[in-house]
Amino acid sequence: MKDLNKIKIFLLEAKDISLGYSEIKFVDYDDLDAAQIGYKVDSKGNNLTSINEGDWQEEWLVIANDDLGDPIIVDTSSPDLAVLTAAHGEGDWEPQVIAESLDDFKEILNILNNSSLERNSELDTDKNSIDETQKQDFLLKIEQRNPDAAIWYWEAFLNNS
């Protein structure tokens, strides 16, 4: 698997993000294989991947889940390690790019982390809400750096109250 060391370093440094109503929880690097159960392999270790559209792809690696339980995926076949998400329970996997590279995803998380300070619960969110200007600034930064990213994902993440 290409660039596993870069993914390892990323996961060792990653911290869960919570806005009090939306969150992303990262996989501990030591639990990376276990995090693939239900996606890449079943509970008995049987391969669930195929080359067919709509099926889980061998190159996808789950690195996190959002508060809806949808996986955050690194596409190890992409040159820059694109970061994707896909709704679970839909029958087919239809991934959407949420960051064009792992480096871009890290930058997005840094911005989110700065916005999430002191917003770890609904009560904190009420006292320290992210205003509309901050949301628009955040979305603009993502669009500028990741023009092909599914901006709707980040809009939903910020507005999931």
Instruction: Report the domain count for the chain.
Output: 1
Question: How many angstroms from the chain centroid is the CA of residue 6?
Answer: 16
Q: Could you list the residue range(s) of the whole structural domain that residue 131 is in?
A: 4-159
Task: Convert the pLDDT of each residue in 54-66 to its tens digit.
Answer: 999 999 999 999 9
**What one-character DSSP code corresponds to residue 136?**
H
Distance in angstroms (rounded) separating the CA atoms of residues 116 and 75: 26
Residue 100 DSSP symbol: S
CATH number at residue 140: 3.40.1580
Question: What is the spatial distance between Cα 145 and Cα 89, in angstroms, rounded to a whole number?
Answer: 30
At 96-135, the pLDDT tens digits run 999 999 999 999 998 887 765 444 544 444 555 677 888 8
Give the dihedral of Cα atoms 156, 73, 105, 158; nearest 10 deg.
10
